[in-house]
């Protein structure tokens, strides 16, 4: 008997262009199967795309390198046949009596013909639908099965106008597919329009009865002390006779150490007619005071494992299904004070600070490992929401799994965008895809795929557009809330008490989350669909704090710059792309940046806005080369995004309910709007966001120069103090203020005192400001925030000669190595002066907060079991606690210098040290998770930095420290 369960078919695939294969699908899967990598066959990327396969085999240039994409023929010029490909593989499977095998495709773009052992099946159109085929009767008796899939591109791939534009000529909008693929102002066109078997392929073996799409819903009472789990599932009897079966549901939770506790175990007897599908609702399960799932920054992400199994009389186990599930309640409404949509989780208001997301990779090279890094990066930035933009994907279960793990709420849009579905140049078709029934089929299937994830917060019809009326009405109807979830304060009555006629909430398609018709409606932007999101360009940092910057309560898109570090430019462009922009002075005094053609192609956005914003890089002096330009760009990135989030947070609840930055990353090697690049190296803007979005944060209002404390927690802050110190370029401290015995109410931003140094006698034109919020009882630092500032009307040009200062540093590193994973803690000390005895905050003993504990497991390889994965955090916490007391591997390095002053803008990088590296070659090991980077230290100050990464086989890592005063990069490990 074959083992019950799922096997993923993700290796051993071959691919070939259909016009080069002169055989039928029947021949390929019977008498003339490919024997290997003989032309025209090549190693296929499955899951993946045709273009991904061609890149993998070096049959085309890398479209993300330099101008490589320009060399690749576009489907508009080649015709659809050019990107119509065969995909071939084999699998072993021998079933016993009463066993069944389903062949599953979680996503094909756009339609396909399938041949298995000579038998043909049609996989109909639609990128966002699952296909599951019972192929039991056509399996080969000897167990060796031959599978060939002919994949056709979207029906309407469109053409790319010479001027580019948003979504090309918009023809792709006639299909139910990703719309970004014709190019956007942040993305070059994808030449095959993402044609391929782009998501998971699997076979699943069951007995006579199959479990289909269970739905889990929780309801809460008595202030979240009583919780009920509602579960409904479909069951299909594939056999030719009535079956008697036991249906079991089990809920387990995990303690530290991987010990599981069974919270519930329930069994029911069912009789299912032959060949029929039935829907079964379990009696609700009661939990008293369960651990709740909270978003990032509000609490822990408690997850329970829900397992459903079906045992058939006379056969044994027939099928099983499991899912990690979090008990939480998400509510939202339009806030009367701000007009913005206000979200509550488990009854607590949450101030939304997050970002817009397109997709992980433009060639759909999606993986658990990459998703894990992507989502962990968002959590590291202290974000609490990701918006999946309507021109991209309905994101995959793996994406949602990591959002569940790391506490990122998800706003998921359907496949409508204003530019492709009603606006744009040329004006696009307002009626959405040609096949509205197909759109709704894909929408329903997507809801079923994703609805059990606690991180999923809301459904939205489209980006800057509402779906056509019939689709919009259908979505409103099918995603309507269950009566229990319609009331904001319905935690008193049980579902049964609401009404005898009310269906169990797990009988709904979803019923637990709101549906909003578009991204600028109903509490977002001006709420009416008018263009009131943005802006998308560089701003003066103080502008974000001003009354007139943004007039509505929740901005779903506000964007800016995002040049990566120089090493990424060099790794993704030939030398002609290393030329920095020309700074062209205009008659009115503003500067226009003129980028080189490769930067232009990669959608560079300048650091000035002639007529509105003077060039922010030139504030530091004219860059001399690429390294200088990119370093100065990081200074601007840090200031820009910290000011953006601090400006919004300064008006928390009084003016704003949330903001989503456009955008957090690029699905290719783009040069705008990102906090980490496509190679997974962070920009300094990443750490500006990390600072600004802390749950408790001390900040300077750049418009009023008042020091403010932000408390997003549900508890009041008591007996805390603020230390504000100004440091000049000579290393002295001309301004030092401590404000003690403060209390800050929960969910409030409070101005505390004015920072008066600029109004003092003879203030320095350029100076540093260090703010610390700390507990008076033990000097534990809750928030630390460092600014570099100039007087009004000034600039930062005095920082240029400051680069010559040699400020001495001492770096102590402790390392724990487990397999290929490195966990390190660096203690960086500015040795230029002994700390002032009047304050003990110089040690930076940071107060541990919820969520910090799993930092050091960030780069661990994903494991197969979701339950095991949840335990990685606690496992590494224990390892780290044990390891942190060891000193066997302590290393100390020093950077000598005789100058006193601030060690400015320090940052680490991790490199591979192995023989044979050519000069100029990119040696970085990526990704790396840092607890902080791009940081500065005042005299005497010590900063602990945790670093986590995984090294390739046979590679020895080297850590370098760079900074404004440390140009060449000092080896510290």
User: What is the Cα–Cα distance from 53 to 34, expressed in whole angstroms?
Assistant: 17
3-class secondary-structure state, position 54: helix
User: What is the Cα–Cα distance from 931 to 927, expressed in whole angstroms?
Assistant: 13
Q: Do residues 326 and 217 lie in contact, with contact meaning Cβ atoms separated by under 8 Å? A: no
3-class secondary-structure state, position 56: helix
Is the bond leading into 40 cis (omega within 30 degrees of zero)? yes
- Residue of 254, 395, 464, 950 marked active site: 464
User: What is the Cα–Cα distance from 697 to 682, expressed in whole angstroms?
Assistant: 22
Residue located via tokens 């002066």: 833
User: What is the Cα–Cα distance from 766 to 705, expressed in whole angstroms?
Assistant: 15
From the CA atom positions of the chain, what is the Rg in Å? Answer: 29
- 320 pairs with which residues across the strands? 309
Active site residue 557: yes
> What is the 8-class DSSP label of residue 197?
-
Burial class (CB in 10 A: 0-12, 13-18, 19+), 548: exposed
Dig out the tokens for 241 from the structure.
Answer: 């006779």
Residues sharing a CB contact under 8 Å with residue 587, sequence separation 6 or more, in sequence order: none
User: What is the Cα–Cα distance from 633 to 636, expressed in whole angstroms?
Assistant: 5
Q: Do residues 211 and 233 lie in contact, with contact meaning Cβ atoms separated by under 8 Å? A: yes
Burial class (CB in 10 A: 0-12, 13-18, 19+), 511: buried
User: What is the Cα–Cα distance from 18 to 88, expressed in whole angstroms?
Assistant: 12
Dig out the tokens for 658 from the structure.
Answer: 């949330």
User: What is the Cα–Cα distance from 83 to 63, expressed in whole angstroms?
Assistant: 16
> What is the 8-class DSSP label of residue 422?
T
Burial class (CB in 10 A: 0-12, 13-18, 19+), 61: middle
- 119 pairs with which residues across the strands? 116
Q: Do residues 711 and 717 lie in contact, with contact meaning Cβ atoms separated by under 8 Å? A: yes
Active site residue 730: no
Q: How many C-beta atoms lie closer than 10 Å to residue 37's C-beta? A: 10
3-class secondary-structure state, position 46: coil
CA distances from 504 to 188, 196, 272, 273, 363 (A): 47, 39, 21, 24, 41
Q: What are phi and psi of 780, to 5 degrees?
A: -70, 125
User: What is the Cα–Cα distance from 309 to 531, expressed in whole angstroms?
Assistant: 50
Q: Do residues 639 and 699 lie in contact, with contact meaning Cβ atoms separated by under 8 Å? A: no
User: What is the Cα–Cα distance from 518 to 525, expressed in whole angstroms?
Assistant: 10
- Residue of 395, 557, 593, 869 marked active site: 557
Greatest Cα-to-Cα distance within the chain, rounded to the nearest angstrom: 93
- 249 pairs with which residues across the strands? 266, 308
User: What is the Cα–Cα distance from 233 to 280, expressed in whole angstroms?
Assistant: 5
Q: Do residues 958 and 893 lie in contact, with contact meaning Cβ atoms separated by under 8 Å? A: no
User: What is the Cα–Cα distance from 717 to 745, expressed in whole angstroms?
Assistant: 6
User: What is the Cα–Cα distance from 616 to 550, expressed in whole angstroms?
Assistant: 21
User: What is the Cα–Cα distance from 80 to 159, expressed in whole angstroms?
Assistant: 12
Terminal alpha carbon distance of the chain: 54
Q: Do residues 420 and 392 lie in contact, with contact meaning Cβ atoms separated by under 8 Å? A: no
CA distances from 816 to 856, 883, 939, 956 (A): 10, 7, 29, 14
Is the bond leading into 467 cis (omega within 30 degrees of zero)? no
Catalytic residue ranges: 464, 557
């Amino acid at each position: 008997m074959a083992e019950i369960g799922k096997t993923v078919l993700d290796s051993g695939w071959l691919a070939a262009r259909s016009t080069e294969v002169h055989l039928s699908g029947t021949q390929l899967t019977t008498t003339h199967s490919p024997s290997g990598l003989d032309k025209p066959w090549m190693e296929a990327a499955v899951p993946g795309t045709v273009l991904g396969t061609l890149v993998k085999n070096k049959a085309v240039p890398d479209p993300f390198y330099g101008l490589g994409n320009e060399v690749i023929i576009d489907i508009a010029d080649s015709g659809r046949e050019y990107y119509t490909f065969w995909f071939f593989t084999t699998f072993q499977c021998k079933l016993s009596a009463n066993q069944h095998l389903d062949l599953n495709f979680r996503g094909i773009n756009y339609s396909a013909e399938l041949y298995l052992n000579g038998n043909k099946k049609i996989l109909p159109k639609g990128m966002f639908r699952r296909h599951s085929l019972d192929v039991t009767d056509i399996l080969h008796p000897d167990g060796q099965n031959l599978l060939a899939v002919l994949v056709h591109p979207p029906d309407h791939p469109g053409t790319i106008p010479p001027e580019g534009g948003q979504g090309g000529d918009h023809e792709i909008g006639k299909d139910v597919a990703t719309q970004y693929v014709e190019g956007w102002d942040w993305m070059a066109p994808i030449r095959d329009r993402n044609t391929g078997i782009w998501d998971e392929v699997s076979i699943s073996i069951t007995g006579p009865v199959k479990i289909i799409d269970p739905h889990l819903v929780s309801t809460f009472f008595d202030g979240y002390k009583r919780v009920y789990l509602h579960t409904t599932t479909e069951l299909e009897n594939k056999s030719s006779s009535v079956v008697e079966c036991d249906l079991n549901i089990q809920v387990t939770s995990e303690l530290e150490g991987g010990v599981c506790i069974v919270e519930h175990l329930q069994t029911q007897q069912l009789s299912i007619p032959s060949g029929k599908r039935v829907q079964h609702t379990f009696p609700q399960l009661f939990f008293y005071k369960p651990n709740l799932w909270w978003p990032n920054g509000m609490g822990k992400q408690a997850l329970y494992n829900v397992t459903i199994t079906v045992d058939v009389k006379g056969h044994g186990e027939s099928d099983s299904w499991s899912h990690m599930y979090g008990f939480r309640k998400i509510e939202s409404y339009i806030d009367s004070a701000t007009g913005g949509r206000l979200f509550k989780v488990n009854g607590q208001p949450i101030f939304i600070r997050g970002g817009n997301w397109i997709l992980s990779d433009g060639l759909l090279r999606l993986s658990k490992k990459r998703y894990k890094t992507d989502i962990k990066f968002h959590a590291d930035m202290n974000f609490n929401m990701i918006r999946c933009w309507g021109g991209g994907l309905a994101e995959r279960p793996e994406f949602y799994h990591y959002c569940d793990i790391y506490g990122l709420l998800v706003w998921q849009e359907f496949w409508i965008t204003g530019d492709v579905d009603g606006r744009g140049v040329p004006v696009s078709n307002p009626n959405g895809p040609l096949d509205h029934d197909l759109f709704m089929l894909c929408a329903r299937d997507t809801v079923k795929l994703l609805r059990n994830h606690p991180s999923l917060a809301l459904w939205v019809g489209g980006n800057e557009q509402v779906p056509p009326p019939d689709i919009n009405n259908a979505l409103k109807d099918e995603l309507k809330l269950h009566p229990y979830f319609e009331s904001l304060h319905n935690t008193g009555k049980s579902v049964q008490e609401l009404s005898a006629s009310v269906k169990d909430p797990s009988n709904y398609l979803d019923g637990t989350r709101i549906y909003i018709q578009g991204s600028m409606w109903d509490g977002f932007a001006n709420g009416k669909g008018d263009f009131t999101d943005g802006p998308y360009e560089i701003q003066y940092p103080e502008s974000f704090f001003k009354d007139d910057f943004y007039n509505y309560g929740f901005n779903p898109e506000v964007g800016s710059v995002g040049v990566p570090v120089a090493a990424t430019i060099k790794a993704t462009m030939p030398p002609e792309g290393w030329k920095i922009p020309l700074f062209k002075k205009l008659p009115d005094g503003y500067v226009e940046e003129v980028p080189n053609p490769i930067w232009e192609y990669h959608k560079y956005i300048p650091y000035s806005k002639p007529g509105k914003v003077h060039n922010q890089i030139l504030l530091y002096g004219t860059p001399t080369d690429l390294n200088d330009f990119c370093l100065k760009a990081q200074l601007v990135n840090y200031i820009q995004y910290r000011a953006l989030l601090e400006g919004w947070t300064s008006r928390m609840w009084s003016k704003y309910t949330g903001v989503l930055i456009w955008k957090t990353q690029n699905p290719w090697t783009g040069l705008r709007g990102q906090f980490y690049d496509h190679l997974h190296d962070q920009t300094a803007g990443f750490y500006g966001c990390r600072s600004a979005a802390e749950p408790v944060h001390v900040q300077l209002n750049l418009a009023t120069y008042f020091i403010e404390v932000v408390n997003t927690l549900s508890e009041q802050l008591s007996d805390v103090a603020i230390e504000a110190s100004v440091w000049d370029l000579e290393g002295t401290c001309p301004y030092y203020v401590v404000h003690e015995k403060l209390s800050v109410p929960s969910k409030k931003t409070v101005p505390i005192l004015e920072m008066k140094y600029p109004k003092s006698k003879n203030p320095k034109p350029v100076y540093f400001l260090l703010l610390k919020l700390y507990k008076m009882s033990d000097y534990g630092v809750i928030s630390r925030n460092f600014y570099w500032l100039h007087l009004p009307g000034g600039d930062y040009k005095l920082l240029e000669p400051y680069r010559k200062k040699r400020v001495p540093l001492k770096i102590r590193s402790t390392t724990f190595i487990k397999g290929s994973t490195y966990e390190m803690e660096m203690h960086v000390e500015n040795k230029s002066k002994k700390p002032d005895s009047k304050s003990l905050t110089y040690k930076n003993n940071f107060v541990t907060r919820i969520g910090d504990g799993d930092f050091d497991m960030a780069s661990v390889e994903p494991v197969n079991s979701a339950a095991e994965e949840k335990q990685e955090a606690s496992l590494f916490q224990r390892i780290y606690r044990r390891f942190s007391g060891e000193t066997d591997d302590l290393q100390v390095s020093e950077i000598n210098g005789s100058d006193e002053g601030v060690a400015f803008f320090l940052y680490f990088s991790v490199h591979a040290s192995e023989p044979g590296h050519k000069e100029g070659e990119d040696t970085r090991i990526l990704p790396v998770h840092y607890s902080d980077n791009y940081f500065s230290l005042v005299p005497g100050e010590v900063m602990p930095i945790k670093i986590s990464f995984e090294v390739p086989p046979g590679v020895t890592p080297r850590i370098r420290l760079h900074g404004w005063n440390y140009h060449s990069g000092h080896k510290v490990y």
